[in-house]
Amino acid sequence: MTPEKRPIIGVTGPDRGGGAAWWFTCFAVWLAGGHAVRITPRRPRQTLDGLDGLIIGGGADVDPKLYGQELLHVTEKKKRDEPVGMWIIGLVLFPLTWLMRKLSAVPVTSGQNAARDELEMKLIDDAVRKRLPVLGICRGEQLINVYFGGTLHRSLAGLYIEDPEIRTILPRKRIVVERGSCLASVLGPRPVRVNALHRQAIDRLGRGMRVAARDRNEIVQAIEHESLPMVVGVQWHPEYLLQVPQQRALFRAMIKPPKRCKVADRQATNADPAERELVSAA
C-alpha cells in the first residue's frame, strides 16, 4: 500500500530574505499534513496547476498605487506592552525565532516589491478562480484585501486608543474572533493571543470581504471572503506560533477546510453581481 500523497501548498515570499518565515511556514504545512513549495519572483509559477492551496507570506509593504494612493513616508513612535506573565515563554522561544529572522534578513532599500506584488496578485486571481484554499499572512492578508478592491491604513499612528501598539513575535496582542465566521471554526470563539509585526492594517474592506477578527482598538486583525471557500487573511504571523494549537489549526485548515468554511462556497449565489461574475468564471 502506497502512502497517501500529501497536498501541495504554494508559499510565496521575496527573493532575498524571508528565510525564517519560509522554513517556519514549511514546517507548519508539514505538521498539518501537507508539502510546501516556495514561490518567489525569481522562482515564479504562472498558474497554480498541480497545487492544492496558496499561502501569501509576509514581507514588504504592498505598493499603495495598487489601491489608489501614493507613497507615504512615516516616522513611527514605537510603544511596547509586555505582560509579565509572558516573560517565561519569551525567554524560551524568543532567542531562536529572533536569531532565525535576523540571519535570514537582508538590507532593504525600498518599502515595496513590485515584482512580488504582480506575481502574488496573479496567483490570488488563479486561486480564487480555482476555488483553492488561500491563507494570507500579514502582508498577504493586506494584499488579498487589495485584490478585491479594498484599501489599507499605511500608518497605525493614532489608531491605538484602548491598548498601546505592540511589535513582537510573541503572542501578546489580544484579538476577538467574530462569531459564526470561518476563522472562528478554526481558532474557536474565545479571544486569542497573537503576535504583531505589522506597520499597516486593513482600512476599507474589499468586495465580498468581511472582518473575521479585531483587536481592542477595533483595528482589523483578520478578514475572510463571504462567498468563497477558505479565503482567509490574518494580520499576525502564525508560523512563529507553532507552539499554540490554535495557530497550527490555521495550517490544517489549508489541508482540510472546516465545514463552516466550505458552506461559504454554496452561498456564492448570494454574492453581489461583481462577485457572482468572478466566481462563475472559475
Please state, in angstroms and rounded to a whole number, the distance separating the CA atoms of residues 218 and 236: 15
Of 62, 89, 87, 218, residue with least CA distance to 148: 62
Based on the residue annotation, tell me whether 82 is a catalytic residue of this protein.
no
Catalytic residue among 120, 224, 226, 239: 239
Q: What is the CA radius of gyration of the chain?
A: 18
Strands of 117-276, DSSP E = 134-137, 152-153, 168-177, 192-196, 201-202, 209-215, 220-225, 231-234
Of 131, 146, 266, residue with least CA distance to 207: 146
Based on the residue annotation, tell me whether 239 is a catalytic residue of this protein.
yes
Catalytic residue among 26, 237, 261, 275: 237
Catalytic residue among 138, 165, 198, 261: 138
Please state, in angstroms and rounded to a whole number, the distance separating the CA atoms of residues 9 and 27: 12
Is the CB of residue 175 less than 8 Å from the CB of residue 191? yes
Based on the residue annotation, tell me whether 225 is a catalytic residue of this protein.
no
As a residue count, the chain comes to 282
Give the catalytic positions in this structure. Answer: 138, 237, 239
